[in-house]
């Protein structure tokens, strides 16, 4: 497994690489969910293709400086995960390699990102789309694998690919969960023991609410279960149209019941699909 730290090193490696190139963009702190993305990329690449994992904590998608500073960066362990699960190469640029000091051009998504995490984190998805587009251009990847856990991110990236006529295939992978139902996340390791024991209530609340027959009841049930925690603080809890991500009360079309919850400084989010 090779490692490239600069764009020049990356280009030299990929010039000699076989196609297809399957990219797995990450911010590191890799867990079993990421490992499943790499394994899927390996399956899609076949015996001839190249699986490339990028590890880059993208500064322009963070809305809180403290969150960026606290983001875990266990690089040695991450490289072990990449190699174990079949990555052929890893791209680990630093901030200066990815962004000029006076960079002034970004990608703006102005529809799907106006609700949910986008509303709570202004500019976040612009940062996501910008770095993903840069990675697509730098790698020339044929396909890229993303987890469905970050469903709003996945929707924004798909919209960017559609609207900008990009030729990269987007490959989704279902959410990977812990045995108690908590969605796997790099942020989970920052939870205290008590918070970690309590956090599965997020998914339990969404599943319980999904059985209700109307939007008002769904939101009430989920809010009551999450609100019963002494540790959890709801950032948002919303039912949105599965296609537009706009708030809805219409259950005759596919919808998504989603929430973000703070445990101290750690922000966790999850969702369940309704009507599909």
Residue 85 annotated in active site: no
> Which tokens sit at 253?
């079309």
Q: Burial-class residue 52 by CB neighbours within 10 Å (0-12, 13-18, 19+).
A: buried
As a whole number of angstroms, the distance between CA 109 and CA 191 comes to 31
What Rg do the C-alpha atoms of the chain give, in angstroms? 19
Chain-centre distance of CA 171, in angstroms?
Answer: 13
Instruction: Decide: 175 and 33 in contact? Cβ < 8 Å.
Output: yes
Q: Which of 34, 85, 124, 173 is catalytic?
A: 34
3-state DSSP assignment of residue 86: coil
As a whole number of angstroms, the distance between CA 78 and CA 104 comes to 31
Query: Which of the residues are catalytic?
Result: 34
């Amino acid at each position: 497994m090779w490692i490239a730290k600069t764009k020049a090193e990356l280009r030299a490696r990929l010039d000699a690489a076989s196609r297809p190139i399957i990219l797995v963009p990450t911010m590191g702190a890799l867990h079993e969910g990421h490992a499943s993305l790499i394994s899927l990329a390996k399956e899609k690449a076949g015996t001839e293709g190249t699986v490339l994992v990028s590890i880059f904590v993208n500064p322009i998608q963070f809305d809180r400086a403290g969150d960026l500073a606290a983001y875990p960066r266990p690089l040695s362990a991450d490289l072990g995960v990449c190699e174990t699960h079949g990555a052929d190469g890893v791209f680990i640029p630093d901030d200066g390699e990815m962004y000029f000091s006076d960079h002034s051009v970004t990608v703006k998504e102005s529809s799907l990102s106006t609700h949910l995490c986008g509303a709570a984190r202004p500019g976040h998805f612009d940062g996501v789309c910008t770095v993903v587009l840069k990675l697509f251009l730098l790698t020339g990847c044929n396909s890229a694998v993303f987890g469905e856990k970050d469903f709003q991110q996945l929707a924004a990236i798909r919209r960017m690919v559609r609207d900008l006529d990009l030729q990269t295939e987007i490959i989704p992978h279902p959410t990977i969960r812990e045995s108690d139902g908590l969605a796997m996340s790099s942020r989970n390791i920052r939870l205290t023991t008590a918070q970690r024991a309590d956090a599965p209530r997020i998914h339990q609340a969404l599943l319980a609410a999904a059985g209700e027959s109307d939007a008002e009841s769904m939101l009430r049930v989920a809010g009551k279960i999450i609100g019963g925690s002494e540790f959890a603080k709801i950032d948002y809890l919303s039912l949105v149209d599965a296609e537009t991500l706009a708030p809805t009360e219409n259950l005759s079309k596919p919808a998504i019941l989603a929430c973000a919850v703070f445990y101290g400084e750690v922000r966790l989010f999850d969702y369940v699909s309704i009507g599909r």
